[in-house]
Amino acid sequence: MISAATSPNGGRFRLMIALALIGIPCQAAEIRIEGLSRMKEADALKLLGDRLEYIRRKAPSWARADDAAFLLSTLMERQGYQQARITPTIAGQTIVLRVDEGPRLSLGSLALPGVPADDQIRLAKLFRLPGQERGIGPAQESPFREADLAEGLALIEADFRSRSFWKASATVEKRTLDPSSNRVDFVIRVDPGPPHRLDAPRFDGAPDALLPVLVARAAPHVGKAAVTERLSTLRGEIEDIFRSAGYPLESFKMNRILDVGILTPRFIIRCGPRQKLGNVHAIGLGKTREQRVTTRFESLRGKWFDARSFDSRIAQLLATGAFSSIRVEKHPASDGSVDATLRLIEGPARGATSYAGFGSYEGAIFGVKYHDRNYLGELWNLSTGVEFSSRGALGELRLSNPWLLDTDTRLGLRLFSVTRDHEGYGKFESGLSAELSRDALGGWLDTDLLFGSSLVNIADEGIPLRELGETVYTHHFLRGSVGIDRRDSPIAPTRGHHLNALLEAGLILGDLDSNYLRLDASFATYQPHGSHGQFNFGARAGVLFPSGGPSDFPIDLRLFNGGPDSVRSFRYRELGPRTSSNDPAGGEAYWVANAEYIRQLSGPLKAVAFLDAGELSPLGKRFDFANPEIAVGFGTRLSLPIGLIRLEYGHNLTRDQAESSGTWHLAIGSAF
C-alpha cells in the first residue's frame, strides 16, 4: 500500500487542498471598544485611524488583539489617561477592547511670577499648546501627560529666545494635583537672562571676493537686538547674495555663538564654482510662442547666474495665469555656464465668470466677465464684461501686455462706456485710456502713467444746470503717479506703511474750453500693538487748479469727500458744500485724517474703533482747516481671501442742523 505522503497522487492531493484553502476568502476583523465614559467610541476609532487597518485586514488573533490594545493605550495616555488598562478579548470575528479608564489628568492653571501680565497670557497659551492639539472638541479641557511638560517649557524658552533672550530658562517651581478635578496646576519660574545683541557675523567657507559684499549687507543688523525675526531676515539676505552672484550653494547653514549679551551668527557655506547663465529653452508649449517666454530671460544670459532675478521672471510668467506649473532643469554647459530648460504646463487660458455683491453706496451689484489670459499666444490678457448696480451700468474691454517691447513695463488699454446716477445729476461717458506702469526698486516702488480721452454728457436730475458746470464736453487727461508700498499685505495690512502721490493735467473741450491741474497725496502706517491689537494712521489731501471760473468746472471732475474710506459719519460724497437743491456740489480742495484701533476677536473676525477728521473746500477756495468734520465710530471686520469685509458706523461729532447724526457703511478693503 502506498501512503498519501509518498504517493505522487498524495502530493497532488495536498496541492489541491492548498489551492482550495488559498481560494477561501479570509474574513476581516472588526474592532469594538467598551468601557469608555468621557470619550465616544467613534472618536477613539477615528483618532486611531489608519493604524488599525493592518489589524482589520486579517482574521482576529491574540497577537493582533494585543497590538490593538497597545495602540489604544497609547491613545488613552495622549488623552490624559495615565493609568488606563486595556483588556483585549476575541469574540468571533471581533476584537473587543475593554477599557478601565482610571483618572484623566487635565492641565489646570499656570502662574509665571515676575512675568508681565500680557506676556503671561501668551506664554500660558504656548505651554498649553501640546495638549490642546490633541484635545477632542473645543469644550474639553486640555489633556496632560508628562511629555507635555518638557515640550511646554521648551516653547516658553523659545518665546524668550525669539525676543533676544537666548539664555532664558524655564523650570517648574511648584506642581499641584487637585484630586477632586484631576487638574494639574503649575508655577513656572522663568529666568530670562540678559538680552543679546548681534555681533558681526562669521562667514566660514565664503569666497574671498564676496566677503566685502557679505559684511556690508550684514552691517545694518550689527548691534541690534538678536530677535529671531532679524536673524531670519539676515539669513535670507546672505543667501540671496550667493543666489544673485552666480554661486550655486551646495550647503548653507547658520548657527550661533553665544557670549554674555552677544550673539555672533556663524554662516557655514559650501558653494560650487561661479556660473553664468547660458541658453534658456522652453518645452511643453502649445498655445504660447516659445520666444515670448525665452525672451524674458535674454537680459540675464551671459551674466553671472542671478537665481533671484531668474526666479522672479518665473513668478511673472506664472502670474499671467497662462501656466499651471513651471519646472526648471539646469544643465552645466561645456564652457562652464549653466543652461536652463523650462518645462511648462499651460493652463486653461479662457473662461467666463459672474459675480454679485452689495455696497452701501452702489447698492446691489452684478457683473459678468470673459477673459483670455493668453490672447494670440502672446501672454496678453484680454477681458471684457458688463456690470450693473443701482447706480448705473459699466461696459468695458481691456487688453494688457505685461512686458511691452519685452521690458518690465506693462501696457494696459481700456475701452469703456458707463452710466452713473449721482445725487442731483446723471452722467454718461464713453472713452478709452492707455496706461504704462512699472515696478522698480525691489517691487515696492510703483510708477504709473495714464492717458485718457472720453466724451461726457451730464444731465440734471435735481441740480440746476447753472450749478453743474460744463455738461457736454470732451475730456483729455494725462496722469502720473508714484507709490512706495512697504506693507506686509496690500489686502489686509498689519504692519508697514505706504505713500502715494498723483499729478494730473486735464483739458476740457466744450462750450468754454479750459484746463486744470490736480494734485493728490496720501500716507498710511500700520503698527502692531501686542499680540492681538493694531493701530492704523492715515492722511491724504488733494487740490484742483482750474483755469476757468468755478461755476464752469464740470461737477463730475470736482473733488468730493465722505464715505467708508474717508470721514465715516457721512455717506459717500456727502461731506462738503451743497447745491441749492441740497445735493453734494463738490469742491476744490480736501483733506482727511484717520486713526483706528483694531482688535482681533476670534479667527478672522476683528473689532475696530476709529476717529476721522476732514474737510472739503468749495470751488474758488483752497484748504480750510478751521471747521473740520469729526467722526468717531466702531465696527467689525471679517478677513476673507478676497479682502476685508467692513461693517462700520460713524457718529458725527460736529453735526450741523441739516446733517444726520451718523451713518452705517458696508465696504470691501481697508479704509486707507
Domain of 516: which CATH number?
Answer: 2.40.160.50
Q: Are residues 495 and 614 in the same domain?
A: yes
Q: Are residues 328 and 281 in the same domain?
A: yes
Query: Percentage of the chain surpassing pLDDT 90?
Result: 67
Q: Are residues 512 and 605 in the same domain?
A: yes
Does 333 fall in a domain?
A: yes
The count of other CB atoms within 10 Å of the CB of residue 303 is 12
Cell 453734494 locates to: 584
pLDDT value at 74 more than 90: no
Does 340 fall in a domain?
A: yes
> What's the confidence (pLDDT) of residue 23?
42
pLDDT value at 22 more than 70: no
**Which residue among 254, 271, 288 closes a domain?**
271
Does 18 fall in a domain?
A: no
Provide the whole-model pTM.
Answer: 0.72
Number of structural domains the chain divides into: 5
Cell numbers at residue 591, please? 483733506
User: In angstroms, how far is the first alpha carbon of the chain from the final one?
Assistant: 104
Tell me what the mean pLDDT of segment 187-209 comes to: 95
Q: Are residues 596 and 634 in the same domain?
A: yes
Sequence-distant (≥ 6) Cβ neighbours of residue 245 within 8 angstroms: 210, 213, 274, 304, 306
Does 576 fall in a domain?
A: yes
Does 15 fall in a domain?
A: no
Does 381 fall in a domain?
A: no
Q: Are residues 96 and 124 in the same domain?
A: no
Question: Which structural domain range is residue 460 located in?
Answer: 403-668
Q: Helix-strand-coil percent breakdown of the chain, rounded to 5?
A: 20, 45, 30
Q: Are residues 162 and 185 in the same domain?
A: yes
> What's the confidence (pLDDT) of residue 7?
42
- Residue 201 DSSP code: P
Sequence-distant (≥ 6) Cβ neighbours of residue 540 within 8 angstroms: 520, 521, 522, 523, 591, 592, 672
**Bridge partners of 71?**
none
> What's the confidence (pLDDT) of residue 137?
57
pLDDT value at 205 more than 80: yes
The whole-angstrom separation of Cα 228 and Cα 232 is: 6
For 617-652, write each residue's pLDDT tens digit: 998 888 888 889 999 999 999 988 778 899 999 999
**Which residue among 124, 157, 191 closes a domain?**
191
Confidence of residue 19 (pLDDT cuts 50, 70, 90): very low
Sequence-distant (≥ 6) Cβ neighbours of residue 430 within 8 angstroms: 416, 417, 418, 454, 455
> What's the confidence (pLDDT) of residue 3?
37
For 371-409, write each residue's pLDDT tens digit: 999 999 999 999 999 999 999 999 999 999 999 998 889
Pairing of strands 277-283, 338-346: parallel
Q: Are residues 447 and 566 in the same domain?
A: yes
The whole-angstrom separation of Cα 92 and Cα 566 is: 75
The closest alpha carbon to 575, from 586, 442, 378, belongs to: 586
Rounded (10°) angle between helices 62-78 and 41-48: 100
> What's the confidence (pLDDT) of residue 40?
83
Does 334 fall in a domain?
A: yes
Q: Are residues 290 and 260 in the same domain?
A: no
Average pLDDT, the chain: 90
For 498-516, write each residue's pLDDT tens digit: 999 999 999 999 988 999 9
> What's the confidence (pLDDT) of residue 29?
80
Tell me what the mean pLDDT of segment 33-53 comes to: 81
Confidence of residue 56 (pLDDT cuts 50, 70, 90): confident
Q: Are residues 537 and 437 in the same domain?
A: yes
Residue 433 near residue 466, CB atoms below 8 Å: no
For 538-574, write each residue's pLDDT tens digit: 999 999 999 987 778 999 999 999 999 999 999 999 9
93-127 burial, b for 16+ CB within 10 Å, e for fewer? eebbbebebeebbbbbebebeebeeebbebbbebb
**Torsion over CA: 210, 216, 217, 221 (sign):** positive
pLDDT value at 346 more than 60: yes
Confidence of residue 339 (pLDDT cuts 50, 70, 90): very high
Q: Are residues 431 and 565 in the same domain?
A: yes
CATH of the domain at 44: 3.10.20.310
Q: Are residues 499 and 647 in the same domain?
A: yes
**Which residue among 346, 365, 395 closes a domain?**
346
Does 388 fall in a domain?
A: no
pLDDT value at 16 more than 90: no
Q: Are residues 57 and 112 in the same domain?
A: no
pLDDT value at 133 more than 90: no
